[in-house]
């Protein structure tokens, strides 16, 4: 047999594919793209059909030399980079470089790296796909035009080193727009009223006020709430309606790329970049002992929910043997793709049902196992029977008020035996009512009122985007494609346009500034709808329905006009920075935020006459504060709430987040005579009982405490409590944060060793709204962070994320 050459994209595939194909095949890897546009010039001839100038990348010249040498000996050459647009471009560029006579070039597509798939692809090769390559070229040219034309403007008008991107800038705009929504949001007070009721049969249950005078209940203040409570106290609570019905909940489809990134973020706390990296490892092959290297999942860049007939039969057979027959529906379940989905690849699924996660766990890293198990469970669940619930809805009248109670009891777990979807970023739980048992009540039955509980609440602004919700937003708005989401999220952080804080994206001052300039001067480029329409045009090019040159001409005609106008009209901020309301303490001039080689800093606008500057390591909003960043590990010694870092005309200080109820502040002393504040020298207003000097926040091997600033002459210390009284009867102490000898944080009484009360959960200084306990505790569960009552006979629990802005 004549010798053949297979060229793949990743070197980790080489060993696996060579094992499948045998000695007559050579397998080499390009290790990514081998050709690209030049870095020093635009590389696009806009006057001659937007012809790109591709060159072999310097770092790949040796690789291409080896591929050319191997190609000279081979009669059949199989170009097998990844089966997406980027992979198609690599295949075309390699083909252009080989350019040998009497060579038979084939395109081989591997949807997964199993022996059957690889052999089938080699037996039935395809031709190179010109429309797919044209789509990739168009995308690359569009990105180059935007990046290389707008970025120099930003260098000229703001500062060197800034960049703009066709997709990245729109992604930043989405984050900035959300931040503007949050900043302009006006919170409104509202009250909820819950009635604890009991019928002739147990158990007691809670019902919420939903209507007053047949209109949606709207209780906006305490006075109105008190009036409603007073009126309800004179009414009978009568069962008006009992609705019982059976509900079926169908399983979710198998993973697309974006849904995999979202669920890995919710369940595993993986970033999109990490998810794709681990998925790539699972796709390219894992060494499974004697079995050798095996690709465990199908190709992980896809927006299709299609499953092959072979895979459907395999998973149905697995469900039939692993579960009761009732868990297998009569027919396979097929999922409909969205209108914009490309159906080139299957959904992300296990490549074979023979590799059960538990059986191969020893060969996987912890991250690989977690992600493989997530993909495995989602795929199996997608082909299982629906879950069945008995849902009960009870409506109760009390005068002109209507209360409603709802509960759902699972009759049959179905697919939920294997998989449940993670919580939304706003804390919404689809299974909130699951397991809530309601009593058997009769219409007309008069209920006994146990308690009426009013609760003051405030409307919350929309939450900042997490990785999961930003990926979903990009997908829903048609920005980018599955293969680009992880790169987009990484790029906007690397460019310092957004920061990740507590798992949420927040735009930096720089991101806000640059986005404002781009929206003002390039409204079309920064328009979400326009960017989405370009993505659709790329899809049409790949399908052979639209011409590449026409698409580029249409784009460049408007873009060049905006570019010319921006060069003349974009305001220059170079040397000026972002204005703040801070005043220079040396000359009285305003201060502004500027950027230097070491990051952001505050500088006097009277430069060079006045050269006063100060450090500003935290991202701020440019309005004279450090954006109220929570001070690390510092709690108010008066009320126990966290302290936030602020900046005033005399520098930085810490203030209680409970303001205006608590107006406690802490000075930050320099300690070493420099302008750089030291967190360990946060001086309080508390005076030492022994020597009268101020006490300062300090931390030792057993946790945080207040120590005398007169140390080492005075070694007096005080425990810092969290504003929560000790629950032990007769104890006058408070709960403080401590650390055990092994370094684990716990919470114990300040009266130790007289009082030995201790617990692992962080106390929250707020009473239980259900039983009146003096404090709640913070717990972390698989579903997220919750606050709940510590008393065993009280079942109060609430999601902490509901209060996040």
- For the annotated catalytic residues, the residue numbers are 299
The 3-state DSSP class for residue 754 equals: coil
Give the H/E segment covering residue 632: strand 629-635
d(CA 571, CA 594): 16
What one-character-per-residue DSSP string does 142-160 give?
Answer: HHHHHHHHHHHHHHHHT-T
- 591 bridge partner residues: 604
Give the H/E segment covering residue 266: helix 257-268
d(CA 372, CA 549): 42
Q: Look at strands 797-799 and 599-604 and give their pairing.
A: unpaired
Nearest to 771 by CA among 230, 196, 222: 196
Asked if residue 608 has a cis previous peptide bond (ω within 30° of 0), the answer is yes
Q: What six digits make up the tokens of 536?
A: 């659709």
Nearest to 132 by CA among 166, 96, 82: 82
Q: How far is CA 570 from the centre of its chain?
A: 33
Please say whether the dihedral angle defined by the alpha carbons of residues 359, 364, 365 and 370, taken in this order, is positive or negative. Answer: negative
Q: Please state, in angstroms and as integers, the Cα–Cα distance from residue 486 to each residue in 338, 605, 683, following that order.
A: 21, 39, 44
Question: What dihedral do alpha carbons 80, 127, 61, 276 form, nearest 10°?
Answer: -40
Place of tokens 């002459």: 713
Contacts of 599 (CB under 8 A, 6+ apart): 617
Specify whether the CB–CB gap between 76 and 109 falls below 8 A.
Answer: no
d(CA 497, CA 512): 8
What one-character-per-residue DSSP string does 190-255 give?
Answer: EEEEEEEEE-SSSPPEEEEEEEETTEE----SHHHHHHHHHHHTTS-EEEEEEEEEEEEEPPPPPB
Q: What is the DSSP letter of 417?
A: G
Per-residue buried b or exposed e for 111-129, using 16+ beta carbons within 10 Å of the residue's own CB: bbbbeebbeebbeebeeeb
Q: Please state, in angstroms and as integers, the Cα–Cα distance from residue 181 to each residue in 167, 271, 510, following that order.
A: 21, 25, 18
Give the H/E segment covering residue 596: strand 590-596
């Amino acid at each position: 047999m004549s010798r053949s050459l297979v060229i793949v994209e990743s070197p980790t595939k080489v060993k696996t594919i060579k094992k499948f194909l045998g000695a007559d095949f050579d397998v080499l890897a390009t290790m990514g793209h081998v050709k690209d546009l030049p870095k020093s010039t635009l590389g696009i001839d806009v006057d001659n059909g937007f012809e790109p100038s591709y060159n072999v990348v310097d770092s790949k010249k040796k690789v291409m030399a080896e591929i050319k040498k191997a190609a000279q000996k081979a009669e059949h050459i199989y170009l097998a980079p990844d089966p997406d647009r980027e992979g198609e471009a690599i295949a075309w560029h390699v083909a252009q470089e080989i350019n040998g006579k009497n060579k038979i070039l084939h395109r081989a597509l591997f949807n997964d790296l199993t022996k059957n798939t690889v052999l089938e692809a080699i037996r039935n090769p395809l031709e190179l796909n010109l429309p797919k390559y044209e789509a990739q070229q168009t995308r690359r040219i569009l990105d180059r035009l935007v990046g290389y034309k707008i970025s120099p403007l930003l260098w000229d008008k703001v500062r060197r080193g800034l960049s703009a991107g066709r997709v990245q800038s729109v992604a930043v705009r989405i984050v900035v727009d959300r931040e503007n929504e949050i900043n302009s949001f006006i919170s409104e007070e509202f009250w909820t009223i819950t009635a604890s009721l009991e019928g002739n049969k147990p158990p007691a249950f809670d019902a919420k006020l939903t209507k007053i005078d047949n209109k949606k209940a709207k209780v906006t203040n305490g006075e109105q709430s008190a009036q409603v409570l007073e009126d309800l106290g004179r009414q009978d609570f009568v069962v008006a309606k009992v609705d019982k019905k059976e509900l079926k909940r169908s399983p979710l489809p198998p993973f697309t790329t974006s849904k995999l990134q979202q669920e890995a973020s919710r369940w595993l706390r993986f970033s999109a970049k990490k998810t794709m990296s681990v998925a790539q490892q699972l796709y390219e092959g894992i060494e499974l002992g004697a079995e050798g290297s095996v690709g465990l999942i199908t190709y992980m860049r896809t927006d299709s929910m299609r499953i092959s007939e072979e895979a459907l039969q395999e998973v149905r057979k697995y469900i039939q043997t692993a579960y009761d027959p009732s868990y297998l529906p009569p027919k396979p379940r097929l999922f409909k793709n969205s209108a914009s989905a490309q159906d080139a690849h299957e959904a992300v699924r296990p490549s074979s049902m023979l590799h059960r996660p538990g059986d191969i766990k020893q060969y996987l890293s912890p991250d690989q196992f977690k992600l493989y198990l997530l993909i495995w469970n989602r795929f199996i669940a997608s082909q299982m029977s629906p879950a069945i619930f008995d849902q009960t809805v009870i409506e109760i009248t009390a005068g002109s008020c209507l209360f409603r109670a709802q509960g759902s009891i699972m009759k049959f777990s179905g697919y939920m035996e294997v998989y449940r979807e993670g919580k939304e970023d706003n804390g919404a739980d689809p299974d909130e009512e699951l397991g809530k048992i309601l009593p058997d009540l009769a219409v007309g039955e008069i209920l006994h009122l146990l308690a009426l509980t009013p609760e003051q609440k405030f409307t919350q602004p929309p939450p900042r985007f997490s990785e999961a919700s930003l990926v979903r937003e990009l997908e829903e708005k048609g920005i980018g494609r599955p293969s680009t989401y992880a790169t987009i999220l990484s790029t906007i952080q690397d460019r310092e346009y957004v920061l990740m804080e507590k798992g949420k994206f927040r735009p930096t001052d720089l991101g806000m500034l640059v986005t404002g300039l781009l929206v003002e001067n390039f409204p079309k480029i920064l328009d979400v709808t326009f960017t989405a329409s370009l993505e659709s045009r790329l899809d049409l090019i790949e399908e052979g329905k639209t011409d590449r040159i026409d698409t580029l001409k249409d784009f460049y005609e408007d873009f060049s006009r905006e570019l010319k106008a921006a060069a003349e009209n974009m305001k220059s901020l170079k040397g000026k920075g972002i204005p703040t309301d801070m005043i220079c303490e040396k000359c009285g001039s305003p201060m502004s935020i500027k950027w230097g080689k070491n990051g952001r800093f505050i500088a006097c606008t009277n430069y060079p006459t006045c050269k006063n500057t100060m450090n500003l390591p935290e991202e701020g909003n440019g309005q004279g504060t450090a954006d109220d960043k929570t001070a690390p590990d510092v709690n108010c010694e008066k009320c126990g709430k966290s302290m936030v870092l602020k900046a005033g005309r005399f520098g930085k200080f810490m203030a209680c987040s409970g303001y205006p109820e608590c107006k406690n502040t802490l000075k930050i002393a320099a300690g070493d005579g420099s302008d750089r504040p030291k967190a360990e020298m946060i001086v309080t207003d508390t005076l030492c009982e022994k020597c009268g000097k101020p006490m300062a926040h300090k931390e030792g091997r057993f946790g945080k405490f207040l120590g005398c600033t007169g140390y080492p002459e005075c070694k007096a210390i005080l425990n810092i409590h969290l504003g929560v009284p000790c629950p032990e009867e007769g104890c006058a102490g408070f709960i403080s944060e401590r650390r055990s000898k092994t370094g684990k944080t716990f919470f114990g009484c300040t009266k130790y060793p007289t009082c030995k009360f201790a617990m692992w959960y962080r106390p929250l200084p707020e009473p239980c709204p259900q039983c009146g306990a003096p404090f709640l505790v913070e717990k972390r569960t698989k579903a997220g962070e919750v606050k709940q009552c510590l008393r065993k006979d009280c079942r109060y629990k609430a999601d902490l994320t509901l209060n996040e802005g």
